[in-house]
Amino acid sequence: MFWGAMEEPMWTKSIVLLRWLLSALAGIATCATASYGQWAPAGSLPPIPPGEARVWFYRDAGIYDSQEQPYILMNGTIIGVSQPRGSFYFDVKSGFYHVTVQQYLSNPEEDANINLVPGQQVYLKIVSLTNCIDSGSNRRASSSEFSRPCFYVWNIPTQIAQADVARTPFYGGNH
């Protein structure tokens, strides 16, 4: 029997399989990145509307950070969702705003108060602390064990925050 007379050589099968796997991975990568936020160059953003201010929200995603996506509220109204490693902005009328993140328990030190003037940009970083509220025994897995993250709203200086936001996927603005 001659080599390859009855069946394809093993290396040919390997190449076909490798090509198929690479095509599948490329398709998965394309789909995964298409649904994720887009990187936004600073020049492509619309100007702040007259009489309004722009509030940026962003969040890192370290390995120990919560992956939950809580609502962000300004003066009690939901304005967006905090996504790990994401950013967005919200244009509002100038004035005083109390900014919170919806969570299991709320403490005043986790919130931010900002007083905005027309044309101003403020950067608020959402910081998560995994397992800040937990209960249960470590001896055995039990249905009575639970864990909840806490979220903090930090007002970050503009120069630091702009560099942070530039490294996060951009999820858009309200205008």
Residues in the chain: 175
State the chain's mean pLDDT as an integer. 78
pLDDT band at 32 (very low <50, low <70, confident <90, very high): very low
Contact 175, 70 (CB under 8 A): no
Nearest to 170 by CA among 62, 98, 80: 80
How large is the average pLDDT for residues 69-87?
92
Higher pLDDT, 171 or 92: 92
Nearest to 45 by CA among 95, 97, 90, 92: 90
Higher pLDDT, 9 or 45: 45
Residue 156, phi-psi category: left (phi > 0), alpha (psi -120 to 50), beta (remainder) = beta
Q: Tokens 């044309």 label which residue?
A: 119
Determine the Cα–Cα distance for residues 52 and 97; give it in Å rounded to an integer: 13
- The per-residue pLDDT for 91 is 96
Per domain, the residue ranges of the chain are 7-36, 42-166
At 58 the three-state DSSP class reads strand
DSSP structure string for 86-103 = EEEEEEEESEEEEEEE--
pLDDT digits (tens, 9 = 90+) for 96-137: 999 999 876 666 678 999 999 999 999 999 988 777 666 765
Per-residue pLDDT at 8 exceeds 70: no
Using CA of residue 98, residue 102, residue 105, residue 110, what is the dihedral sign? Answer: negative
> What is the CATH code of the structural domain delimited by 42-166?
2.60.40
pLDDT band at 30 (very low <50, low <70, confident <90, very high): very low
pLDDT band at 31 (very low <50, low <70, confident <90, very high): very low
